[in-house]
Amino acid sequence: MRGENNKMVFTRRRVAFCIAFIFSLVFVIAFKFRVLITPLHWAAFWFLLVALYCTIGLCFKPPRSFKLLGILFPVALVALIEGTWNLSQFLGERVFQSSLPPGGMERGLTTGSSEGRVLQAEVDFIYRDITLDFHFMPDAIRLISPPPNFRSSVVNTNSLGFRAKEFTPKESDTYRVIMFGDSGLFGWNAPNDQSTIPWFLEQTIKRYVGPASKVEVLNLGVGSANAAIHYPTFATYGQALNPDLVIMYLGLNDLHGGSAVIADGIYSKRIQKHFLNYTVMSQLGYLFGQFFGTVDLLARRMKLYSALAPKKDPFRLVYPDSEKFDVWKNAYISNLEKIYILASKLKIPVLTFEQLSSRLALSMTSDLNVREQIRKRDLIDNRSYSWQTGDEAHYDLVVNDGNRIAQKYGFAHVGLKNILKEHVGPILQGQYVGLPNKSFFVSDAHYTPYGNKRIAEQIFKNTKHLIDGKLGLN
């Protein structure tokens, strides 16, 4: 009888080892090819935790295993939920992508009907691939850049990682505009390359000047970038492109700590996050951080913190005080001034446009739909550190201070709040691309095709006099 028990224990542990080995192998393979099959490696990680949970149960006799499994049951439950969610997300998006008919993206943008509608999640799936392959210090000039020669039905990059055609010497009869900015200008969340601010601006200028002149608007936007990064890019790539006009559409990254890369001698939180995810070991650490973040989220939703300490949330974020914002604003304007100084020496006109956010739109609008009211209430109640000190409170101040510096060099720093004042329609987009019609924002600082077009039209109105002067129009 004793021998039979030992044999059963050996068999049980052998099965446990096989389960742990198989799920570990699946995770390693999924992690190795995470750029191609994202987010399947997340699902593999969570299921690995579930497998280890089961392994514990098989390795020990029932009385002891029950004690261990009881303690770890919440962990296994969270892992099972997360693993199932990531797996369903992967399958749902891939099945949708494979079943999408040719031209489905374009039809989803133009018809506005139930046929050909495109889920925003399907579009965002492609951008996750880019995020996982960001390049750091790619050329000893730029701090970060998207992957070069990226190809998809949603977003494409050239050999330098910019969302623009290949850079070539400017032809004599070409009017060339280069644009700098962060993810909002790059066109993050846009359903294709023909839905970005630079593309809409190029089409608008072409219609205005007619076929007599060639026009190029090159997109040098980079996600998570700031003015400190755009300066060396302009001094190298930008200068070599011999532009007739430089346009910058930026501000939010700088005003939320992006300029801390030089202001405080540290990297911004956004760039830190990219660096922390660059190595295999740091990505594994990030996986564990995601797990504890999920546990924290569940605890918040179950109001466990308020039950344990009604007047204290141990994970409450504390936003820096107003003095910190002043440091960031001053660093932002200082970085812009460096660009102005160089551009004035090169005799290239520059216009800076202060970036719009959905927080600014929500703060300016009283006639909100139910979804927007919920979003605004969530910002006020749960993210007051952002709402109270964000751009909605300082937009005009930043524009005025920035314009005062820009005018020293004959340039201008322009605000775009009038677009939001004139906007008639939803502020926030729903789950489908471009729907409801005339919705403006996909997320806080990323725009729908309609929003990008409206911004491009306003930028054109403010640059028309420069175009007239250069091309001798009117």
- Where in the chain are the domains? 2-99, 120-471
> What SS3 state is found at 228?
helix
- What per-residue confidence (pLDDT) applies to 35? 56
* 281 within 8 A of 287, measured Cβ to Cβ: no
* 231 within 8 A of 343, measured Cβ to Cβ: no
Q: Which residues, including other chains, have CB under 8 Å from residue 189's CB and lie 6 or more apart?
A: 120, 123, 124, 127, 442, 443, 446, 447
Q: What is the pLDDT of residues 156-205, one digit of tens each?
A: 999 999 999 999 999 988 999 999 999 999 999 999 999 999 999 999 99
Classify residue 160 as exposed, middle or buried by CB count within 10 Å of its CB (0-12, 13-18, 19+): middle
- The C-alpha atoms of residue 467 and residue 461 are separated, in whole angstroms, by 10
Weakest mean pLDDT among 26-35, 64-73, 232-241: 64-73
CB neighbours of residue 399 within 10 Å: 21
Closest to 360 (Cα-Cα) out of 380, 385, 387: 387
Closest to 178 (Cα-Cα) out of 129, 222, 123: 222
pLDDT band at residue 44 under the 50/70/90 scheme: confident
Amino acid at 321: D
Share of the chain above pLDDT 90, in %: 40
Q: Which CATH number fits domain 120-471: 3.40.50.1110, 3.40.50.720, 1.10.10.10, 2.170.190.11?
A: 3.40.50.1110
**DSSP per residue, 49-73:** HHHHHHHHHHHS-HHHHHHHHHHHH
- The C-alpha atoms of residue 457 and residue 127 are separated, in whole angstroms, by 26
Alpha carbon of residue 295 to chain centroid: 24
Q: Which residues, including other chains, have CB under 8 Å from residue 388's CB and lie 6 or more apart?
A: 319
pLDDT band at residue 316 under the 50/70/90 scheme: very low
Q: What is the pLDDT of residues 454-474, one digit of tens each?
A: 999 999 999 999 999 888 776
Closest to 434 (Cα-Cα) out of 252, 192, 151: 192
Weakest mean pLDDT among 140-149, 375-384, 427-436: 375-384
